[in-house]
Structure 1
């Protein structure tokens, strides 16, 4: 187990959509703040659920992620891809005015690895089909 786990109030459950098992993460704290935190999350989810698909709330991700200049979104995305983990982030992304971020979200949603969706049902459905 990672050294970071003690500070997280995180609950991992599994849901099934179209016969595909998905790890549903709920947290009262920000879980993704840097590359190491992503690796910790991937490891914890894999160990506890054996899932390769993760659904989490936007609130579990540091706001810095949504500022593309920080580089966090690219680094986080790359780790998920490298470890073959599909992720859907649920929340309201219309609040961001950055055209580059909106382009990133649109391009991600057209791909097969990282999705930004408005609700849990759409997220589970998308994850079950990739």
Structure 2
């Protein structure tokens, strides 16, 4: 399935295909932001599409990607099991915890959890 805009819990979400191209550069992130301008306010990216550098905070890649979404006022949601990354990094655990308390970047295990967060936020 290609990336597609879906209404989820009353919010337009660009749901990215797990088999789609990987996000390995900030330009890839900007491409997703650009695709969201077709009517989505949230971009749900499978964790499997994010380059492994995203989960290694010392590379700064996560910060660069997240900052692009914040700058362009598009909510980023990382969807999927990232437990192995969390187990390896207390800094990542802290980032996920703090991000999930705010509105700009969320980490959720699946689309059902995203739907619940959107309902709660609305």
- Alignment TM-score > 0.5, same fold: yes
Which segments of structure 1 move beyond 6 Å, counting only runs of 4 or more?
none
List alignment gaps of at least 5 residues for structure 1. Answer: 1-9
Q: CA deviation at 1:30?
A: 4.2
Question: 1:73 and 2:79 equivalent?
Answer: no
- The whole-number CA distance in structure 2 between the counterparts of 1:30 and 1:102 is 26
TM-score, normalising length: structure 1 = 0.82
Question: 1:121 and 2:91 equivalent?
Answer: no
- The whole-number CA distance in structure 2 between the counterparts of 1:109 and 1:38 is 20
Question: 1:17 and 2:8 equivalent?
Answer: yes
1:55, 1:124 within 8 Å by CA — same for their partners in 2? no
Q: When you count helix as a share of all residues, which structure comes out higher?
A: 2
2:14, 2:40 within 8 Å by CA — same for their partners in 1? yes
One of 69, 89, 95 as aligned partner of 1:104: 95
Q: How many residues align?
A: 119
For each residue in 1:48-81, what CA deviation from the matched residue of structure 2 results, as whole angstroms up to 9, or x when unmatched?
x321211121011101100000000111110000
> RMSD of aligned C-alpha atoms?
1.7
- The whole-number CA distance in structure 2 between the counterparts of 1:16 and 1:41 is 17
TM-score, normalising length: structure 2 = 0.87
